[in-house]
Amino acid sequence: MESFTKVFWLFGRSGAGKTTLGLLLFAGLRDRNIPIIYLDGDELRSRLCSDLGFKSEARLENHRRIAEIARLLTMQGHNVIVSTMAPEHLHRDMVNSILGSKLVWFYIHAPLPVCIERDPKGIYKRAQEGHINHLIDYPFEVPRPQESANYIDTSVQGVNDCYQIVLQTMKVYLSDFVI
């Protein structure tokens, strides 16, 4: 079963809509009896990766750990949805090296002012108050053409439209399953 499983990695700024889409996709695929597991970057950071900071090296290690977990899950026959910021090319390159052809990228985009305005978890407010370093001022590198990420702009399309777009793309990769 391993050869048919995929890792669908949603990445973008905090507040772009990764978690919202990830949870909707997880529920939708689970309801269709597709073997799926959801890994949320914030949840993993609060436990498994709580020893890591937010500088580039720590973010790289965070993504390495998550990619290795996703790889192990695919080996057990599960498809995996991951949502993390993955702000640098370096992070995404390392994830690519671990997951290879199992990986499908989705760049979940919203401009920084929109993300700050949404701030569903209060993370930007905490950053502005000085409780979190390296968030607002941290550079976010948009995908390079060779990264061939699927582009979803949540500031232009509603949640349900974004969900349908991602689901249609996932259908191509999950053709062995009935969606």
Task: Give the span between the Cα atoms of 10 and 92, in whole angstroms.
Answer: 11
Cβ contacts of residue 175 below 8 Å, gap of 6+?
none
pLDDT in tens, 59-87: 889 899 999 999 999 999 999 999 999 98
Residues 6+ apart with CB under 8 A from 56: 88, 90
- What is the pTM for the complete model shown? 0.90
pLDDT of amino acid 135: 66
Check: CB of residue 104 under 8 Å from CB of residue 9. yes
Cα angle at 152 between 147 and 153, to 5 degrees? 125
> How confident is the model at residue 125, as a pLDDT?
85
Weakly modelled stretches of the chain, pLDDT under 50: 1-2
Backbone angles phi, psi at 40, to 5 degrees: -100, 130
